[in-house]
């Protein structure tokens, strides 16, 4: 169950491993002045230090980059269907704010 909580230590180590593999393979690059990723090894101390928490936040923010079409080709109509299906289920009703 720990892996379902993206902020748990175990889940964070999985995300950090994936990020590190991205660095090693050249699939993930950051600017040389990115101070948080420059301190990447601090992730081993997560969540015990403030710096490790900041590095973890950067990893969580960057991890979705691996699932864009450049790295993970997705040819499906599902997202379009999902976002438009709500309109077919029920109309949107807006409350008149002027009747406060």
Model-wide pTM > 0.75:
no
Q: How far apart are CA 65 and CA 53, in angstroms?
A: 20
For residue 27, give the nearest of 70, 73, 74 by alpha carbon: 70
* pLDDT at residue number 83: 74
* pLDDT at residue number 65: 79
Delimit the domains of the chain by residue range.
2-73
Radius of gyration for the alpha carbons in the chain, expressed in angstroms and rounded: 20
Query: Tokens 């109509």, residue?
Result: 77
Q: Split the chain (100 residues) into runs of 10 and give each run's mean pLDDT.
A: 88 95 88 88 97 96 78 68 70 62
């Amino acid at each position: 169950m720990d892996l379902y909580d993206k902020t748990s230590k175990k889940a964070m180590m999985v995300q950090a491993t994936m990020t590190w593999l991205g660095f090693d393979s050249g699939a993930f690059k950051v600017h040389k002045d990115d101070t948080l990723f420059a301190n990447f090894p601090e992730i081993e101390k997560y969540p015990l230090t403030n710096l490790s928490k900041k590095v973890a936040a950067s990893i969580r923010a960057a991890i979705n980059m691996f699932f864009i079409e450049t790295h993970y080709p997705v040819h499906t109509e599902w997202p379009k269907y999902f976002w438009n299906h709500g309109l077919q289920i029920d109309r949107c009703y807006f409350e008149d704010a002027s009747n406060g």
